[in-house]
Amino acid sequence: MKLKGIFSVAVAATLSSMTFAETIRVASWLPPTNPMNEVVIPAWGKAISDATGGRINVEIVYGLGHPKTMWNLVEDGIVDASYSYHGYAPGRFELPQVVEQPGLGANAEAASYALWTTYEKFFSNSHEFDGLKLLALFTHGPGQIHSNFPVNSIDDLKDKKIRIGGGVQSVIAEKLHVTAVGAPAPKVYEMMQQSVIDGAFLPTVEQKVLRLSEVTKYLTIFPDGLYMGSFSMFMNPETFSSFSQADQDIINKMSGEKLSVMAGVAWDASDASGIDAAINSGVKVTMLSDNSDLVTQFNERLKDVSDVWVKEADKHGYKGKDILKYLRDTAHQYAAKHGE
């Protein structure tokens, strides 16, 4: 009995001195080869794990449903964190779409920095992310046209069935007189393969990650793209508050502007691999110049697309036009500072 008592005390002392790792489970709806899963979330997780001495680890969880449900999964505590595209939740996340408007003229890194900075400055009290701990705001690379038909004129798009992801793409589709088909990005391969759609608006990386190089014949690349796509990454507030104050501080330090910019950098880097995949698969890649007739046509047709967002922001009591200018100026200043 005496030995047993000594053994019990020893075990208790050992257990009390051990550090048990906690895991942040992050739901992902994109393929493992997407930059979010291949680069961003692992790098964020490693930074947190290293800074906490292994007390907190990050795990990616796949197959939990449509991207529009990610916010609900996190709110309900089914997973600890996730990310998603704002266009999949129409009416809920309107303000971050300031960055999606045509004419930004910046890459995803600069756009992501500008989006986080702008949202923090103007929209942090908007209540759009009530029930969630906002971790980052970022964009993918410039949206381009992936199609099974050549785009030599703006009229070539008329009545074509084009997959869109919501957000500003809905306005662009209307301006271009295409037949818009809403669907999450991972469905595009199947839809193109089965001729359900004639094309899609997506960044070039998807020629590789979604394997669109296998089902598209043409990739038309505009110098600044047609639009940017905005995302958020978020955590369950109860999960966040369950960590010690020191660990909460570490998560905050590794998130926010730092995580937003890191995501933008990863999306930019991945776009080049998409172009390579297209060329290697025999896709006809057309890289347009700023002064090409086609770019002029599109710029003219899409010049007032941002008016829709500005009016929405104004309706909510914000100075939409001024905020849009601030975001663009911030993106250009960041780009100039970082030599982009």
What six digits make up the tokens of 75?
């709110």
pLDDT of residue 21: 76
Question: Both 104 and 183 in a single domain?
Answer: no
CATH number at residue 186: 3.40.190.170
Question: Both 223 and 234 in a single domain?
Answer: no
Question: Both 94 and 222 in a single domain?
Answer: no
Q: What is the number of structural domains in the chain?
A: 2
pLDDT lower than 50: segments of the chain: 1-19
Host domain of residue 164: 144-227+271-337
Distance CA 183, CA 85 (A): 12
Measured CA angle at 206 (ends 200, 211), to 5 deg: 100
- Please check whether residue 125 lies inside any domain of the structure: yes
Question: Both 122 and 223 in a single domain?
Answer: no
- Please check whether residue 6 lies inside any domain of the structure: no
- Please check whether residue 107 lies inside any domain of the structure: yes
Question: Both 315 and 211 in a single domain?
Answer: yes
pLDDT of residue 20: 56
Distance CA 36, CA 165 (A): 18
Q: Are 167 and 91 in contact (CB under 8 A)?
A: no
Specify the pTM.
0.92
What six digits make up the tokens of 280?
């290697």
What six digits make up the tokens of 171?
């306005």
- Encode pLDDT of 142-186 as tens digits: 999 999 999 999 999 999 999 999 999 999 999 999 999 999 999
Question: Both 149 and 75 in a single domain?
Answer: no
Question: Both 116 and 156 in a single domain?
Answer: no
Question: Both 58 and 163 in a single domain?
Answer: no
- Please check whether residue 181 lies inside any domain of the structure: yes
Name residue 231's beta-bridge partners: 85, 138
Query: Token pair 């359900």 is at which residue?
Result: 196
pLDDT of residue 1: 43
Question: Both 127 and 40 in a single domain?
Answer: yes
pLDDT of residue 329: 98
Please state whether beta strands 22-28 and 56-62 pair in parallel, antiparallel, or not at all (unpaired). Answer: parallel
pLDDT of residue 206: 97
Question: Both 100 and 222 in a single domain?
Answer: no
